[in-house]
């Protein structure tokens, strides 16, 4: 509706105004999610202040780790994923946010693939993008870092909805 760089600030104020108006007119709480590289969290804004939402373990920070069950491929997120890493380390994925959008030939990815400190496999995915390689039922499965991060986001959303007593 508004064009040009001079109007960028004005656009932000207009959006902020309408969002604030919507929040103040609605009784629905506003949810915020911070997708972090190491830890992630969800919060709710209600009664005039932000409140961090505890996860299933009662912690307010959730490890940004996703573990894919090697038999079923079902993902687990957070502390439980961290604990499951010993069962099949290759299927425990972390640092997905750092890998999103990077080409496989990126120097940053090269440091990962040449490191003895990581337990997961990075491979060349579609369009030369870096991707994770896991095993499910003896088959190799490629997971994009966006898919891995999406699992963290879904978990945090589900946790927030349960905390607020709403349907997911």
Digits of tens for pLDDT over the chain (168 positions)?
334 444 444 544 555 555 555 555 666 778 899 999 999 999 998 888 889 999 999 999 999 999 999 999 999 999 999 999 999 999 999 999 999 999 999 999 999 888 888 899 999 998 999 999 999 999 999 999 999 999 999 999 999 999 999 765
Q: Look at residue 71 and tell me if it is in a domain.
A: yes
Residue 48 included in any domain: yes
Task: Return the pLDDT at 108.
Answer: 94
Beta-strand relationship, 139-143 and 130-136 = antiparallel
Domain that holds residue 51: 28-168
7 lies in a domain? no
* pLDDT score of 27: 67
Q: Please enumerate in sequence order all residues whose Cβ is within 8 A of that of 34, keeping only pairs 6 or more positions apart, or say none.
A: 40, 41, 42, 43
Is 12 part of a structural domain of the chain? no
Q: What is the pTM of this model?
A: 0.82
Bridge partners (DSSP) listed for residue 30: 45
Most distant CA pair in the chain, distance: 56
Q: Decide if 19 is inside a domain.
A: no
Can you give the CATH number for the domain in which 147 is found?
3.30.420.40
Residue 168 has a pLDDT of: 52
Give domain status of residue 72, yes or no. Answer: yes
pLDDT of residue 76: 98
d(CA 110, CA 103): 10
In this predicted structure, what is the pLDDT of residue 3?
Answer: 42
Supply the pLDDT for residue 46.
Answer: 82
113 token code pair: 């693939």
Residues 6 or more apart whose CB falls under 8 angstroms from that of 80 comprise: 56, 57, 67
Exposed / middle / buried, residue 152 (Cβ in 10 Å: 0-12, 13-18, 19+): buried
Tell me if 142 sits within 8 A of 125, measured CB to CB. Answer: yes
Q: Domain tally for the chain?
A: 1
pLDDT at 8: 45
- pLDDT of the residue at 13: 53
Q: Are 108 and 91 in contact (CB under 8 A)?
A: no
Q: Which residues pair with 63 in a beta bridge?
A: 39
Tell me what pLDDT residue 38 has.
95
- Per-residue model confidence (pLDDT) at position 167: 66
């Amino acid at each position: 509706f508004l064009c040009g760089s001079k109007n960028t600030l004005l656009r932000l104020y207009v959006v902020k105004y309408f969002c604030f108006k919507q929040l103040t007119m609605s009784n629905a709480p506003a949810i915020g999610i911070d997708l972090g590289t190491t830890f992630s969290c969800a919060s709710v804004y209600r009664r005039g202040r932000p409140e961090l939402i505890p996860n299933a373990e009662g912690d307010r920070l959730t490890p940004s780790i996703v573990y894919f069950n090697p038999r079923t491929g079902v993902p687990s997120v957070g502390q439980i994923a961290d604990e499951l890493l010993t069962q099949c380390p290759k299927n425990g994925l972390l640092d997905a946010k750092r890998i999103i959008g990077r080409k496989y030939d990126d120097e940053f990815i090269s440091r990962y693939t040449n490191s003895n400190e990581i337990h997961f496999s990075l491979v060349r995915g579609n369009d030369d993008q870096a991707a994770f390689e896991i095993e499910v039922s003896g088959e190799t499965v490629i997971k994009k870092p966006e898919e891995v991060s999406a699992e963290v986001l879904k978990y945090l959303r589900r946790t927030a909805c349960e905390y607020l007593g709403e349907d997911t």
